[in-house]
Amino acid sequence: MKTKLLMTVILLLTIVSFAQSQTSQHLTFKGVPIDGTLDKFVSKMKQNGFKEGGSEPDFASFEGDFASYEGCNVVVSTLKGKDIVSYVTVNFPKQDAWSSLASNYFNLKELLTEKYGQPSKSVEKFGSFFQVDDGSKMQQVYLGNCKYVTTYETERGSIQLSIKSTNSNAFVMLTYSDKINGNIIRTKAKDDL
CB atoms within 10 A of CB 48: 15
Q: In the structure, what pLDDT confidence band is assigned to residue 109 with cuts at 50, 70 and 90?
A: very high
Using the predicted structure, report yes or no on whether residue 173 has a pLDDT greater than 80.
Answer: yes
Using the predicted structure, report yes or no on whether residue 28 has a pLDDT greater than 80.
Answer: yes
Closest among 48, 78, 53, 54 to 63, alpha carbons compared: 53
Q: In the structure, what pLDDT confidence band is assigned to residue 18 with cuts at 50, 70 and 90?
A: very low
Q: Which residues is 125 bridged to in the sheet?
A: 147
- pLDDT by residue (tens digit) across 39-53? 999 999 999 999 999
Using the predicted structure, report yes or no on whether residue 21 has a pLDDT greater than 60.
Answer: no
Give every CB contact of residue 75 below 8 A, 6+ residues apart in sequence.
59, 60, 61, 62, 88, 89, 91
How do beta strands 157-166 and 69-79 pair? unpaired
Mean pLDDT of all residues in 12-27: 56
| Residue boundaries of the structural domains of the chain | 3-192
- φ, ψ for residue 135, nearest 5 deg: -60, -45
